Amino acid sequence: MTPALSALLRGALRLDRGADHAQREQCLEAIRDCVERFAYALSMMIAGHDAPAGAIDPLLLARMQGALRPFLARGDVMRPDFGAFGDLRVEGALLDAGEPVLAVLEFDDRCVREAADGSLVPARLRRLRLTMRVELDPVTVIDCVVAEVLPRSA
Amino acid sequence: MLTDRRTAHAIVVLLDEDADAEALARMLGDLSADEAHTVVCLPPVRGMAFFADATVQRQLDAWWAARIPTAAIPVFVVDHHPDLAQWLGGLDASCYVGVRSEADASAYQGTEAHVVVIRSPLDYAAALMNDLVESGVYGQTEAHRMRSLAASIPDRGGPGLDMVPRVGQVGAGIGPDPFDLLIAMSAPDRNIASPSRRTVTPDGGDAPASVRRGLRLPAWTRRVASLAKRDDVADRELATALVTRGSTIVAVGSRKGGVGKTSHAAGVAIVAGAALDSVGRCAAIVDANIANPDAWGQLNLPPEAATVRDVIAALAVNREPPRPVHASTPALACFPESREASEYSRTEIGMIVAHLRARYPLIVVDMSNRLPDPTAGPEAAAAAFWLEHADVLVLPSAASKQDFNGVLDYLEVRDIPPAIVASLVPRTRRNREHPLAKRYMAAIAQRAYRVVDIPDEAERVRYAGMEGVPVETVSGALKAAYRELAEAIAAAPDSKRR
């Protein structure tokens, strides 16, 4: 292989990698946006409002609404406060739109319960983890597992 | 409207429970793969009354004519009722009846009803979608997924349509925590991470790795919090006044301790924070009481909270300061002080002021029990440096000679901003109307911009401290007083603004 051809190939490879990188960044942005909308929808639900459509698969939405019914049925609502920042980790093949990726969001539950009688009860100040399966085309959360993050010493 | 020749279906949801009926109808409508040939609707009357109540039949006839396409096959979804079976014979429709026991199911022998053993509304959806896949009303994938989901709901073994048992009971009278319910929904054996999943490195390739990103969440938090039930109009007016005024630093100072300085600082910050929440903004409270930094117990801050010293240290080396913790009340960023804090320079205070002003419309600073003086030790110096930046000064006062004199001394300090005296109103009339107290208050009122009465609710404040809740939640009178104080701050002249 001549030095000129070798240089050309290296350049072409770099271009390919650059395009992949751009696509991956774009995908990450879309996932980040989807997770934010999902978290927003979740906060709407615990606040006793309808969740906005879009970021959540309807089946998952129905399941979550059903799960929350015993809480909302008492007339209680939450004033959602998940802290100022969440920690988002994305795992998966971002260049393969056919396979869902995994998004893990951790945040602090600082919500305040507003009981039906108007009294306010602060939450337990714990850290929660949402593990979400995110479909990429269109970007939608199709499944979610909620868990409490225990302190490392525990 | 249903237009072409394919068989159309009209799914009529007749479940008794409003929430279940609405959720099921919405779900079936959203998941339909053939919207042109499917309508899902909720009639004005449901349950047995739909069939048996003669008084509503004319209303239902009109509804039916308006909503159900003539050529559509009706599909009823209805809860079991002891008398329902007799109404199903001769119906020109499919009917899905939800039962909870074999005894209930036996009532439908000999009818063409589809009997569904239900634990949740998802069971209705699973059965119906499964049957309508061949008709093209629902996709195979969605139907399969619905079956899986319906099967994953644990059986409570009791009546009612709640999907999960109540968990996380905090105590008598307090219902389940919503996140506990969602954790229960996420059965422990469910692992949604696929073991075969490939991960990507930031620079490409398929090597196992993950991408970690920070995610900023405050916007929706505030939007939702603003939708919660509360005194919206008053909150919005106060918030608008505060935001219109521009970033305001409120120094809460006193020459002596024990006058409720920290309680008042927290109270006004909480009320203002809740109001600012309604317009998507946030208030901040700063502990500048370097001699007694433990006084913030009532805000229930976690021990790992970033302190004023941490923020200043980061700003000094041009690093992004640690994010503040938020108190149990939303929209209130808290900056506590560390026990190691000894003193601050004018420059350091200037740095944190600039940092806070860029972020919060209202910053409440709980100062030390010293008259401000840059040359009289660290506490007095810190008070002086903060006061140089303050737009409003709040001076708490109890009804004693020492307290009155303390306020008057503070009001003599040069170049102070407009001062609002938060005057603790004695509980006994004898003290309230004592001639000496009146003379003192008259002198204070002459020098201060405004005097706001604060009810003496010491018992309730102590109770709030024991319960770990903000003081404003245990006393309506206190809350009203703190709101008045916040309104006075918002209305204070800005002649001192730098």
Of all residues in chain B, the one with the smallest CA distance to A105 is: B215
Secondary-structure percent of chain B, ordered helix, strand, coil, rounded to 5: 45, 15, 40
Strand partners, A4: none
Are B249 and B385 part of one and the same domain? yes
pLDDT higher at B433 or A59: A59
Q: Residue B260's closest CA among B485, B491, B450, B496? A: B485
Q: Are residues B297 and B422 in the same domain?
A: yes
Contacts of A97 in chain B (CB under 8 A): none
Single residue among B111, B127, B152 that ends a domain in this structure: B152
Q: Tell whether B120 is covered by a domain.
A: yes
CATH number at residue B394: 3.40.50.300
- Is B168 part of any domain? no
**For residue A17, pLDDT beyond 80:** no
Q: Do the domain assignments include residue B178?
A: no
Per-residue confidence in pLDDT tens, chain B, 498 aa: 333 445 688 899 998 887 778 778 877 877 777 777 788 888 888 888 888 887 777 778 878 877 788 778 889 999 988 888 877 776 778 889 998 877 788 888 777 788 888 877 778 888 888 888 878 888 776 776 677 666 655 554 433 333 332 223 333 356 778 888 888 777 544 555 543 333 333 333 433 334 544 444 433 333 333 333 445 667 778 888 888 888 899 999 988 777 888 888 888 888 888 788 767 678 888 988 877 765 555 455 666 778 888 889 888 888 888 877 765 445 678 888 876 767 888 899 999 999 898 888 999 999 888 888 888 888 888 889 999 999 999 999 888 888 888 899 999 888 889 999 998 887 777 777 788 888 888 899 888 888 988 888 766 666 665 555 555 566 667 778 888 899 999 988 876 544
Return the exposure string of A54-77: e unless at least 16 CB atoms fall within 10 Å of the residue's CB, then b. ebbbbbbbbbbbbbbbbbbeeebb
Can the peptide bond before residue A138 be classed as cis, meaning omega within 30 degrees of 0?
A: yes
* Cβ count near B32 (within 10 Å): 22
Residue A145 domain-assigned (yes or no): yes
In this prediction, residue A4 carries a pLDDT of: 46
Between B192, B206, B302, which is nearest A93 by CB? B206
Q: Answer yes or no: is B103 within a domain.
A: yes
pLDDT of B235 reads 77
- As for the ipTM of the complex, it is 0.83
Q: What is the pLDDT of residue B394?
A: 94
Same domain, B450 and B346: yes
For residue B188, being part of any structural domain is answered with no
Whether B477 maps to a domain, the answer reads yes
Would you state the pLDDT for residue B153?
Answer: 56
CB < 8 Å to A28, chain B: 211, 213
Residue B160 lies in a domain: no
What's the domain range around A8? 3-149
- CA of B85 vs chain A CAs: smallest distance (Å): 28
Tally of CB atoms within 10 A around B131: 16
Note whether B234 and B142 are same-domain residues.
Answer: no
CATH label of the domain that carries residue B72: 3.40.50
User: CA–CA separation, B278 vs B443, rounded Å?
Assistant: 38
Among the three residues B152, B172, B191, which one is the final residue of a domain in this structure? Answer: B152
The number of folded domains in chain B is 2
CB contact under 8 A, B162 and A69: yes
**What's the pLDDT at B335?**
85
Q: For chains A and B, count residue pairs whose Cβ atoms are closer than 8 Å.
A: 231
Q: How far is CA B197 from CA A29, A102, A136, B125, B193, in A?
A: 20, 9, 14, 31, 8
Q: Last residue of some domain: B136, B152, B168?
A: B152
Residues B145 and B266 in one domain: no
Residue B269 and residue B141 share a domain: no
**Confidence grade of residue A15 (pLDDT, cut at 50, 70, 90):** very low
Provide the CA A68 distance to its chain's centre, in angstroms. 18
Please, which pLDDT band fits residue A151 given cuts at 50, 70 and 90? low
Query: CA B15, CA B152: separation in Å to the nearest integer?
Result: 22
pLDDT at residue number B393 = 93
Range of the domain at B133: 9-152
Per CB-CB distance under 8 Å, the chain B contacts of A22 are: none
Domain count along chain A: 1
Interface-testing mutation among A112, A119, A130, with chain B (most B C-beta atoms within 10 A): A112
- Interior CA angle at B54 toward B51 and B60, to 5°? 65
Q: Domain with A83 in it: what CATH number?
A: 3.10.450
In a domain, A31, yes or no: yes
Decide the pairing of beta strands B9-13 and B38-41: parallel
- Residue B29 forms part of a structural domain: yes
Rounded Cα distance between B305 and B222, Å, is: 21
- Among B161, B220, B323, the strongest candidate for a mutation testing the A interface, having the largest count of A CBs within 10 A, is B220
Alpha helices in chain A (DSSP H): 3-46, 58-72
A154 lies in a domain? no
**Angstrom distance (rounded) from CA A108 to CA A144:** 17
In terms of domains, do B239 and B365 share one?
Answer: yes
